[in-house]
Amino acid sequence: MTLLQMFRDGGLFMYPLLLCSILGLAVILVKFVTLRLAKIQTGRLLDRVHAMVRSGRVDQAMELCANTRGPVASIVLTGLHLYAERSSTRAEQAITHAGRIEMAFLEKGLVVLATISNVAPLIGFLGTVAGMIMAFGAIESAGEVEATLVAGGIKVALITTATGLAIAIPVNIAHNWFVSQIDDLIVDMRQGVQSIQDMLWAGDNQPVSSGPPAGGPR
């Protein structure tokens, strides 16, 4: 049985399942590329920034961060922009705000994947119920039980259930993997925030905040 034939035999419920599969695949590809570009060698970046700032090359440090992909570079760049002002309160607020923006960007698309992994099996089970209704309806109309009468309904039930699970399982695995990758990036972001604050205001005896607000991907 070809995929096209299975799609036809699955009935109307195969269309929303097809939409779920296309949307899930698109989000997975975009998210994979986004997170791959966001991951950088945080320690090496911070070491280079520290060396440049200590030698008075703040402009070069800002240029380095501007040309480096990833949320850590963006947050450090925000702190460097406020370096000359030596305003601890304003800088902490700006860095925290930048951290929230980067976290929201990293989490974008996870809700879609979580929804698909939950909805796809439900659509498949709904197709199962519809298939069984068709099978029992055929029995009722014929007044007798024959394999040929119930085969069509049972086929719809099995195809939609299998399709829903086949979509939900890889989408759920991808969602959980993305969450773990984002958790690692959040740790890097916190390290970058703490590092830039310690570097810019180490000698000012100013209170240092703990970085971006707590709370990983939902």
DSSP structural state of residue 213: P
Return the pLDDT at 206.
Answer: 40
* Domain boundaries of the chain, sorted by first residue: 3-200
CB 113, CB 174: distance < 8 Å:
yes
CB 139 within 8 A of CB 149: yes
Predicted pLDDT at 21: 94
- Dihedral, CA of residue 91, residue 96, residue 98 and residue 103, to nearest 10: 170
What is the Cα–Cα distance from 156 to 187, expressed in whole angstroms?
47
pLDDT at 209: 39
User: CA angle at residue 182 from 176 to 183, to 5 degrees?
Assistant: 90
Look at the block and give the residue holding tokens 């195969």. 14
Report pLDDT for 19: 95
Instruction: Note whether 156 and 11 are within 8 A (CB).
Output: yes
Tens of pLDDT along the chain (218 residues)?
A: 577 777 887 788 899 999 999 999 999 999 998 888 777 666 677 778 878 877 878 788 888 888 887 787 887 787 777 765 655 566 667 777 777 777 788 888 899 999 999 999 999 998 888 888 877 776 667 666 666 666 767 777 888 899 999 999 999 999 999 999 888 888 877 777 777 767 666 544 443 333 444 444 43
For 137-148, give one letter per residue: b (16+ CB within 10 A) or e: ebeeeeeeeeee
What is the reported pLDDT for 217?
A: 44
86 Cβ contact partners less than 8 Å away, ≥ 6 residues apart: 200, 201, 204
Tokens 């850590």 — which residue?
72
Q: Are 196 and 80 in contact (CB under 8 A)?
A: yes
* pLDDT tens-digit map of 80-128: 777 656 555 666 677 777 777 777 888 888 999 999 999 999 999 988 8
Dihedral sign (CA 142, 145, 148, 154):
positive
